[in-house]
Structure formats: C-alpha cells, structure tokens
Amino acid sequence: MFIDEVKIYVKAGDGGNGCMAFRREKFVPRGGPSGGDGGKGGDITMVASPHHNTLLHFRFNPEHKAERGVHGEGSQRTGREGKSIVLPVPVGTVVYDYETGEPLHDFSFLGDTFLVAKGGRGGRGNQHFATPTHQAPTEHEQGFAGEERRLRLELKLLADVGLVGFPNAGKSTLISRLSAARPKIADYPFTTLEPNLGVVRLRDDDTRTLVIADIPGIIEGAHEGKGLGLRFLKHVERTKLILHLVDISEGSHRDPVSDFRAILAELDTFSEEMLKKPMIVVATKIDAAQDPERLNSLRAEAEGQGMELFTISSVTGQGLQELKYALFERIRAEEPTLSPESGSAFRPWE
C-alpha cells in the first residue's frame, strides 16, 4: 500500500517540576535550601531514513508523545531528562503545520533531521531563589510544557524523470523495459494505482543511473480531482525532466494531438512551474501505428512547442536505446557539477 499523505499529532515531553527541600543534617554546619531542578522533557525529531519509502507506518500510529522530565529531588539532585523520540520518514517528505498550512521542513537527502517539537525546560528548585535576605525560600518552579503540534506529512517522490500521459499510454510497460521495476500491467484504464520507481542503467557495464517515476494516468479534469491524477501530480513537481507519453496506435481511438494538448493543460493548471520543466515527447506503440498522419501531426505539434519527439515500441524494443541515451544526456545538461578540487565543471557522465 502506497501512503503519501498523513496527518499526525506530536507532543514533546513536559519539563519536570523543581523541588522544594531544605538540608538539615547533623554535623553539617551550612544547611539551607537544596531543592534540585526538574529534568528537561524529551524532544521529537524526524529523520530521513533509507528504510521507508511510504508514510504507511504513520497511518495506524498517528500520535507520538515524548517522555516528560523527572521531577527534581532534595540534596540538589536534578531530575533525569525525558526520553526523546525519533520518527523516520522517507526522503522527499514535506512537513506542514496542519493548522496554518505553513511548510516547516523538506527532507531532501538521507540523514536530514528536523526538530519538530522541543521538550519543555525543567523547573528550578528552591535553591535558586535563595538570597542574603531570603535564606529559606519556598519558591520553586513547575516544569514548562513541551511543544505540541498537529502536522500534515506529504511525500513527493524524488526522481530524475517523471512519466506523464493518459491511462494506457504505455508508461508502466516502458518503465518495466528500461528498469527492473515490475509494475502491474493490463489493458484497462488506471492499471497503475500508485507511483512506481525504477532505476535505469545506461549500459549493463556502466555505473551511471537515473531514477524514473511511473505516475498513474492523468485525465482531463485531474486538477479538479477527477481520476487519480490530482493525488499524484505532486510527484512530478520534483522531477528534473518530464517524459510525456502519447499513444499513436489506432487501437486507442483517441487523437494524439488532442491528448498531448490536454495533458499540457492539466500540468499548467496544476502548477505554472510544470511547463517550465524540460520535456521530451514520446510517441508510443509505434509497432501498432498504421496511419503515418497521426505521428506526423504529433511531431508537428511537439516541434511547435519546441520539444523533442521520440518514437518507441516497448513491445519490440524499437527506439528504447535512443530514448535512454537522450534521457541521460538531458539530465546531464540539467545537472552540471563542480569538481571539489578545481572548482571547474566536472561531468561524471563522460
């Protein structure tokens, strides 16, 4: 089960109370106040973990409370700190304040940590309130309350390439041919009910890889909640490159140009930043295309938008290698890195 959005409640531990005590012992000439401080409450921290790829572990455990600090004791003994809690989340999780909608943190790399709720400070014992004119104070502090929050966690997949297109455009079949991912494939709409990630290797003897995400099919009106598109369009936001798949076979009974324009409209309506991303258009199922005019009209439309077009058949393998090289080339162009030694452009791809 793929869970990409949950609401949780977190409560850091309260601080322990300060103690009121006096020291009166035989053979001890200096007595007086000796109340110790309360211990600090436990914190709640989130950390990006490699062992989680969904938010499912929060679905049935939405409340998390850290331990409160132990109260102070006599003889100036400070109470023990409360035990803190560490909550693992997948890389790509964004934390929002549930009440205000304000984004609090974005976990963009493994090991990234965020203090989501701070434990309360322990109260001071009466030893801190002694003065030369007030040598037997009875004042002491209660522990301070720990922070509590209601949060919304949203997972946005981190991938280099995102596949978009109408249902049955061939997205799942393509990712199964390019990577080791094995999504469910069938000849009916919405076969893909949850995103799938696949790692694509340039060649078998090459270490260069990229991550590709298969997003459930988008239909017209997806930005209004129709179909499955609205729920998963957010996963395309993080990708560096969009691969727009269009079915040009006669069996689809759809117009390729109309499909192409409809998906672009949905992306633009969902977020203006979508159409600013690099995009490659892929005409799929070329092995079942009999009418060349369907391909020619799509090619003209793509070129008019300034986009490169590839033709492939995931069944026969036609055009897959050329497409794979183009993906690596475009990702390389989007991500030049710097050599730590010289500061010059360093391209590990070459």
Please tell me the distance from the alpha carbon of residue 242 to that of residue 164, in angstroms, as a whole number: 7
CATH number, domain at 128?
A: 2.70.210.12
Please tell me the distance from the alpha carbon of residue 218 to that of residue 166, in angstroms, as a whole number: 5
**Secondary structure of residue 322 in the 3-state scheme:** helix
Q: What are the residue ranges of helices labelled H in the chain?
A: 56-59, 171-178, 229-232, 256-270, 292-304, 320-334
Q: Per-residue pLDDT tens for 148-177?
A: 999 999 887 667 888 888 877 777 788 787
Quick check: 199 pLDDT over 70?
Answer: yes
- 246, 307: one domain: yes
What does each C-alpha distance from 17 to 14, 64, 117, 240 come to in angstroms?
Answer: 9, 22, 20, 52
Question: Which pLDDT score, from 0 to 100, does residue 348 have?
Answer: 38
Question: Which pLDDT score, from 0 to 100, does residue 97 have?
Answer: 93
Question: Which pLDDT score, from 0 to 100, does residue 210 have?
Answer: 77
Which region among 108-112, 221-225, 323-327 has the lowest average model confidence (pLDDT)? 221-225
Between 188 and 140, name the one with better pLDDT.
140
Quick check: 195 pLDDT over 50?
Answer: yes
Share of the chain above pLDDT 90, in %: 27
Report the relative pairing of strands 209-214 and 161-164 from DSSP bridges: parallel
- 176, 73: one domain: no
Among 155, 181, 200, the domain-final residue is: 155
Question: Which pLDDT score, from 0 to 100, does residue 188 have?
Answer: 44
Between 334 and 6, name the one with better pLDDT.
6
Q: Per-residue pLDDT tens for 227-245?
A: 444 555 666 777 788 888 8
Which region among 37-46, 101-110, 120-129, 267-276 has the lowest average model confidence (pLDDT)? 267-276
Please tell me the distance from the alpha carbon of residue 85 to that of residue 172, in angstroms, as a whole number: 39
- 228, 119: one domain: no
Q: Per-residue pLDDT tens for 218-229?
A: 555 444 444 444
Can you give the residue range of the structural domain that contains 271? 161-346
Q: Per-residue pLDDT tens for 41-78?
A: 999 999 998 888 778 888 888 999 999 999 999 888 99
Among 92, 127, 155, the domain-final residue is: 155
- 178, 235: one domain: yes
Question: Which pLDDT score, from 0 to 100, does residue 216 have?
Answer: 65
pTM of this prediction?
A: 0.63
- 84, 233: one domain: no
Please tell me the distance from the alpha carbon of residue 2 to that of residue 159, in angstroms, as a whole number: 16
| Number of domains the chain is built from | 2
How high is the mean pLDDT of the chain?
80
CATH number, domain at 328?
A: 3.40.50.300
Q: Are 183 and 196 in contact (CB under 8 A)?
A: yes
- 196, 103: one domain: no
- 146, 188: one domain: no
- 128, 234: one domain: no
Q: What are the residue ranges of helices labelled H in 17-89?
A: 56-59
- 127, 175: one domain: no
Which region among 84-88, 282-286, 308-312, 329-333 has the lowest average model confidence (pLDDT)? 329-333
Three state DSSP letters for 137-199: CCCCCCCCCCCEEEEEEEECCCCCEEEECCCCCCHHHHHHHHECCCCCCCCCCCCCCCCEEEE
- 228, 100: one domain: no
User: Which residue in the block uniquely carries the two structure tokens 């909550």?
Assistant: 87
- 294, 193: one domain: yes
Q: Per-residue pLDDT tens for 74-104?
A: 888 999 999 999 999 988 889 999 999 899 9
Buried residues in 223-247 as b, exposed as e (16+ CB within 10 A): beeebbbbbbbbbbebbbbbbbbbb
Quick check: 22 pLDDT over 60?
Answer: yes
- 175, 134: one domain: no
Strand-by-strand arrangement of the 103-106 sheet = 63-65, 5-11, 148-155, 93-97, 103-106
Among 130, 155, 180, the domain-final residue is: 155
Q: Residue 90's closest CA among 12, 149, 151, 2?
A: 2
